[in-house]
Structure 1
Amino acid sequence: MSKLPHIGTSIFTVMSKMATDYQAINLSQGFPNFPIDVRMTEILARLAKTDIHQYAPMAGYPPLLEKIAQLTLDHYQRKVNPSTEILITAGATEAIFASIQAFVQPQDEVIILDPSYDCYEMPIILSNAKPIRIALKEDYSPNFEAISQHLSTKTRMLILNNPHNPSGKIWTENDFIQLEKIIENYPDLLILSDEVYEFITFENKHISINTREKLKDRSLIVSSFGKTLHLTGWKIGYLIAPENLLEEVKKVHQYLVFSVNSLAQASINEYLTVFDVNEVAQLYSEKRNFFKHLLKETAFDLLPCEGTYFQTASYQSISDEKDVDFTKRLVTEFGVSTIPLSVFYGDQTDLNRIRFCFAKNDELLLQAAERLLKIK
């Protein structure tokens, strides 16, 4: 008997396969299609010839832990202990899975804010706990009234995703103030903050849980080198949390993967000496603006994109089809693969919106725009 009977093939796999089958332009799955920095490939090639191929320490390659501590201090003015408060993980997904498995007990409740990334719910169910799906507002800002109504002594964890996938929304100072206020009466509630797009924000600066004095001691903060350094296939993430929380996560991590790819960790460590993460926002800001300009004459209504490398769009002026049907028709009739937003909701809320990934080279974005201009 299946433990996850309702889990099928993910929409990302479905749409990417359709893109291949119909030779469509793939703006669905969230990964860059341009080469990584040549400096990284040179570092990787050189280190591959050294003695770096055995198990790394369980918590991570010590020099890389030191780099992350410095990065956190530089960007968030938070001093973390690299030996006890940082864990290198097999991608952000493992950090999320291990954190939930470490703390969520049977019958606990975990709040997920929809639309949400699809990896949150499964580890909650495997813990015999209850996911509580609460919709964000239509502009993707948090609905604190609804969150407050669902908070109780059963609430073990609240999962945040900021900057938000799929919408590109980022939390404001006032959002955090409200959050701090409504959870102060629930001292056992933990926050799992998915911040994998933290360095991909534009006009407004990302506010990290790392900067919130009232929250950071009860929070597990997830980051991703895959997203920041355009290395999604390397699956290298990290987790920052107080020592008492991280010790529990390590108990899961050591039996889940034990340690993470040693060559990748060593290569990232050296690359961070020559790469400025501030370059990431500039790169994707230019791509966002370029893609937005290309779609200006289409029938799509583009929603604000404050962060991430995703552009959400409404197609209400084009069709009243369900979004899953519309995205499949985009592939078969127009040769562009996107993601429907209803799949990010527990109840499949359909607002006639889709998500484009603009982390692609200019040539591909131009080709996609030419096809999208034909849609009326």
Structure 2
Amino acid sequence: MISPWQRTAQGANLMGPDGSLGVTIFEEITTLAAQHQAINLGQGFPDEDGPAELRRIAQEAIASGHNQYAPGKGILDLRRAVAEHQERFYGITLDPEQEIIISTGATEAIASAVLALTGPGDEVLTFEPFYDSYGAMIGLSGATHTTAALLAPNFMPDLAVLENSFSPRTKMVILNNPHNPTGAMFPEEVLSEVVRLAVKYDAVILTDEVYEHLTFGPRHIPVATLPGAAQRTLTISSAGKTFSFTGWKIGWLSGPAELVAAARTVKQFLTYSSGTPFQSAIAAGLRMDKSYFTDAAATLARKRDVLGAGLRAAGFDVYLPQGTYFINADTQRMGVNDATELARRLPELIGVAAIPVPVFCHPEGAQRTRSLLRFAFCKKESLLEEAAERLSTLQAKI
């Protein structure tokens, strides 16, 4: 009989072919990057801190003694700030007492919702490629992980295939928009079809919108704003991406009171409470002027363009993202069909690290994406320029 940890490892692509516990490709690439002093564009976190004012507020909270457990669902001021944010940006009205909980990053919110609402006999549908945490949590729940492919170059689903991916056993659909690892942003047509199918099959929608403010042109559409969606949608976001404080691990989940209560029931036995002195700082961040959010996206767009130009000059086919801070590059035009093998060589070859997209897929999807690499551009612009210079030497070395 397979154990829960084995199901989790399988879902996160951690199991070796012999059933042994493997090491993630993320750990492997990070180790290789350190060994060869490479520029690590594999890890998805910024190399610059967020606003100084938020750091000051967190420091003051520590100094003034806000260092014990926060309430399990988060401090009221942050829950109110999340509600204000959703109203200000999207016109969504939420009750801070019953419809919002603060989590230890988006990852705990995902875990709480999946474990609370799905189990053996259920199916949970995601797009593929998928953020690795989804597979791990679905595996831990005992549910079956089903997928609908996102197809290059724009990484949109075939809507007929999407419909065929639902079944009477579909209990939840997890939607990541803007999408990691592809950088796609799903238009209203796609989102509305997800909602229609979720209604048809009475499935919960878990929508991971952590990159909601990191978009480059298209308008972010929260799923909960679409007709028929609000009563079955749990929305997740976090401070890590919006404010560049990934180490603070402050996220939130919102939606109908009965679904939030189910997730909270599980959350209290995971971490219970999260980062008390950071919560007041993030409350202030969510109330910042809208110019902060637009300026952050514009800065990131410039970084995207610097790295994109470097990848094109190196000989890759480049798929510019509409959101997130990841860019995908196809190795086939360079005569390389195995991006995973190339990813393992890049740190030594040219001193740059990236993550192969197949690790975000089940075996069939891994074949479909086998020539794709994901690069993170949430780094200092000077570092991206140096990475572009190193990438220019790749053709001569492979």
TM range (shorter): over 0.9
> Paired residue for 1:129?
143
Is this contact kept in 2: 1:310–1:357, CA < 8 A? yes
Gaps of 5+ in 1: none
- Give how far 1:151 is off: 1.7
Structure 1 distance, partners of 2:242, 2:285, is 12
Give CA deviations for 1:266-312 in whole Å, capped at 9, x if unaligned. Answer: 22223444453333212211211232334442211111310001111
Q: Does 1:165 align with 2:169?
A: no
The residue number in structure 2 matching 1:288 is: 304
CA-atom RMSD, angstroms?
A: 1.6
Q: Give the match's secondary structure for 1:40.
A: helix
1:30 aligns with 2:44: yes
What is the match of residue 160 of structure 2? 145
Aligned AA (1:185)? K
1:150-207: per-residue Cα shift (whole Å, max 9, x none)? 32221101111110111100010111232233333222x1111111111100111111
1:78 maps onto 2:92 in alignment: yes
Contact 2:147/2:165, CA 8 A, preserved across alignment: no
Q: Which amino acid aligns with 2:155?
A: Y
Are 1:331 and 2:332 matched, yes or no? no
Does residue 357 in structure 1 map to residue 376 in structure 2?
Answer: yes
Does residue 214 (structure 1) correspond to residue 228 (structure 2)? The answer is: yes
Structure 1 CA distance for aligned equivalents of residues 204 and 110 of structure 2: 13
Following the alignment from structure 1 to structure 2, what is the Cα–Cα distance between the partners of residues 36 and 96? Answer: 24
| Aligned-partner Cα distance in 2 for 1:280–1:211 | 24
State the TM-score, normalized to the length of structure 1. Answer: 0.95
Match of 2:204 in 1: 190
The 8 Å contact of residues 95 and 237 in structure 1, kept in 2 or not, is answered as yes
- Please show how residues 1-376 of structure 1 align to structure 2 within 5 Å: 2-5=3-6, 6=10, 7=14, 8-138=22-152, 139-187=154-202, 189-274=203-288, 276-347=292-363, 348-349=366-367, 350-376=369-395
CA shift, 1:133, in A, is 2.6
Distance 1:2 1:22, change over 3 A: farther
Contact 1:76 1:210 in 2 (8 A): no
Deviates most, 288-297 or 17-26:
288-297
Report the secondary structure of 2:65's partner residue.
Answer: coil
Q: What is the TM-score of this pair, normalised by structure 2?
A: 0.90
- Point out the structure with the larger helix share: 2
- Say if 1:43 and 1:271, in contact at 8 Å, map to a contact too: no
Q: State the number of aligned residues.
A: 375
Contact 1:108–1:130 (CA under 8 A) maintained in structure 2 = yes
